[in-house]
Structure 1
Amino acid sequence: MTGLQFTFSGSNERQGTYLLFISLSKPVRLAFGSFMKGKKLPLPAGYYLYLGSALGKGDNSFPLARRLIRHTSRSGNEKPHAIGKALRIAMLKNRIADEHALNIKQKKLHWHIDYLLQCPESSIFHIVIIRKAEKLEPALSRYLETNPNTSVFAQRLGAQDTKNSTHLLQCSDPNALLEQLLMDLPDIVSDDDDHSC
């Protein structure tokens, strides 16, 4: 990667869409809650990508910050993802959150991605944050599923609320994917106000 932990795009919205770049240090067999009736899937060591969104509304609401802080935490007494501290600083600096929004309750495993992020072998190493109120997941999902640097290893994983997309993918080359994504993102979201920190 570029050495940067975050890429920001879009306007000044407190809601939006995001991509988590995840490293898995060794192979694991993992059940994603009730997905595929709780069957354990083999995940090889390597890189993964998760597409999500937080589009809640309200003047005092910080849905994007709350969702991302939640992703960087783990349930129980497990150590949070190392990127979490830098994420808090970036959220405050970019006015996506206030101090109150960064306090989350005890995490319970709920979404498919929670099960992967709970593993001590997993680590979030980069987050693309798109601050835009429009629903971008369908377009981004189509883009990611057809990218030569990604592959679908379980159809509809991470996206059971959609009919035919997948939001958790394997990624063969995160650097190439991020480079291409940053070039194509303005066309996907119709906004070229991108910056990194």
Structure 2
Amino acid sequence: MPHQIRPNILKLFSDIKLARGDLISRSAKNLYWNIDHLLNRTEVEIISLICVRMEEPSGAKIDKRLELKVDTNVIEKGLGASEVKGNTHFLHLTDSSKSGSLLINSLV
């Protein structure tokens, strides 16, 4: 069963021209990435997502800087970041009043 966030993500991707056409697969999704497994669980609650598109790969640097911030917690070391051993792409932001744009601006 697809996660309830899926329709909103599909619309957003289409609106910002990140993808086009029918984004819903004709066959069942092969669960491969960590996010696939999380989104396949209805008991997982995703409150918000922050996505950053950059021209050069810099995810590892951003992840490390986020991990060191006092208002973020690592959910599980290595979760979602196969390119850097022990790094993570899934963090919990403890200060929910902080907006995503403030967080992103503090990293660039």
Shorter-chain TM-score category?
0.7 to 0.9
**1:67-82 residue pairs with structure 2 within 5 A?**
78=1, 80-82=2-4
Number of the residue aligned with 2:24: 103
Number of the residue aligned with 1:161: 83
Task: Report the Cα offset of residue 171 of structure 1.
Answer: 3.0
After TM superposition, which residue ranges in structure 1, 4 or more long, deviate above 6 angstroms?
none
* 1:122-171 deviations in Å (ceiling 9; x for gaps): 13332323233321211210121012121224322222332341222333
Q: Which amino acid in the other structure matches residue 103 of structure 1?
A: I
Number of the residue aligned with 2:38: 116
Comparing both structures, which one devotes a greater share of its residues to strand? 1
Instruction: Report the aligned-residue RMSD.
Output: 2.4
When the two structures are aligned, how many residues end up with a matched partner? 107
**1:137-176 residue pairs with structure 2 within 5 A?**
137-176=59-98
Alpha carbons 2:63, 2:87 under 8 Å: kept = yes
- The percentage of aligned residue pairs carrying the same residue is 28
SS at match of 1:106: coil
TM-score, normalized by length of structure 1?
A: 0.46
TM-score, normalized by length of structure 2?
A: 0.74
Q: Which has the higher contact order (CA 8 A, sep 6+)?
A: 1
Task: Report the Cα offset of residue 177 of structure 1.
Answer: 6.1
- Where structure 2 has 5 or more consecutive residues not aligned to the other structure, the ranges are none
- Where structure 1 has 5 or more consecutive residues not aligned to the other structure, the ranges are 1-77, 188-197
Q: In structure 2, what is the Cα distance between the partners aligned to 1:163 and 1:118?
A: 25
Q: Which amino acid in the other structure matches residue 35 of structure 2?
A: I
Alpha carbons 1:81, 1:124 under 8 Å: kept = no
